[in-house]
Amino acid sequence: MSLVTTKDLMLDAQKNHYAIGAFNAENMEMVQAIIAAAEELRAPVIVQTTPGTLKYASPAMFHAMVAAAASEASVPVVMHLDHGSSYELAMQAFRAGYTSVMIDGSHHVFEENIEITQSVVRACHAAGIPVEAELGKVGGKEDDLDGGNGNGYTVPSEAAEFAERTGVDSLAVAIGTAHGVYKGTPKLDMERLSEIRKVVSVPLVLHGTSGVPDDAVRECVARGMCKVNYATDLRIAFSKGLKEYLAKDPEVFDPKKYSAVGREYVKEYVKSKILVCGSNGKA
């Protein structure tokens, strides 16, 4: 199957009260693992890359890997730019063939966030590519992304205005999650999420989900989250597989052997989160 966009997938998720799992990939093995997990559970899936990952390898390189894997899959696969940090990077991903683009202007003031988001929406919508944006500040650190300490929670009325004025297809909102590894159990503002859902018509996105208890994620989905992002825990799973293999056989020199273990660990993790999102059987 060719790569698809998020547009129809997320509208279906919104209508039928589940979420699409969005998983960050850092290499070929993680791409393979994410799509294999989706295949086993018959789930649509989003593979995404951050600006930091795209410094390691180009958007064209990652797009080629994901497109090749998707062509052999029988479930819908999206190639998404996660936390696009500038108009220029968003356009690089767009030109490389990404089928969904996020522009993250949340570090700008409200009007500047609207302006940069509108510019990406105009360019991408001309070619039928959906755009995700962010309002509010998801804290923590991941790659080059530094959300700072604490969270600037999304204001429902501002979210409604932002979605209307920008024409975005989905909106990431801040309700108490953070990027990276949590030092404690996050406390999410579920009532805020419900208020946002009442006034914003486009699908909502949950960022910073690695480490959030599964029951909390399920409640977020029940209250209207249509896309759930996972990144840090995939890296941890892959690294754990490598470390365990190398500890047992420190003389190994074939990267295929230990990378295959990392790939399996990532696949099992992704499967568990697809079940949490409720997207299994929706492909």
Question: What's the pLDDT score for residue 187?
Answer: 81
pLDDT at 144: 52
Active-site residue list: 82
What's residue 148's pLDDT?
45
pTM: 0.93
H or E element, residue 230: strand 225-230
Q: How far apart are CA 151 and CA 173, in angstroms?
A: 11
Write down the pLDDT at residue 221. Answer: 97
Query: 140 with 208: CB under 8 angstroms?
Result: yes
**What does the pLDDT read at residue 1?**
86
Measured over the CA atoms of residue 134, residue 158, residue 278 and residue 189, the dihedral's sign is positive
Do 209 and 177 touch, CB atoms closer than 8 A?
Answer: yes
For residue 231, say whether it is annotated as part of any ligand binding site. Answer: yes
- Where exactly are the structural domains of the chain? 6-235+264-277
Q: Is 83 annotated as a binding residue?
A: yes
Residue 231 CB partners (closer than 8 Å, separation 6+): 23, 24, 50, 82, 142, 179, 210
Say which residues have a Cβ less than 8 Å from residue 30's Cβ, sequence separation at least 6: 23, 24, 234, 238, 263, 266
For residue 208, the model assigns a pLDDT of 87
232 is in an annotated binding site: yes
> What pLDDT is attached to residue 181?
54
68 is an annotated ligand-binding site residue: no
The helix (H) or strand (E) run that includes residue 17 is: none
Q: Which two tokens stand for residue 47?
A: 């593979």
Kind of pairing between the strands at 145-146 and 204-206: unpaired
Distance, in Å, from the CA atom of 207 to the CA atom of 260, rounded to the nearest integer, reads 28
**Domain 6-235+264-277 annotated CATH 3.30.565.10:** no
Task: Using 70 as the pLDDT threshold, list the residues of the chain that sit under it.
Answer: 137-151, 179-185
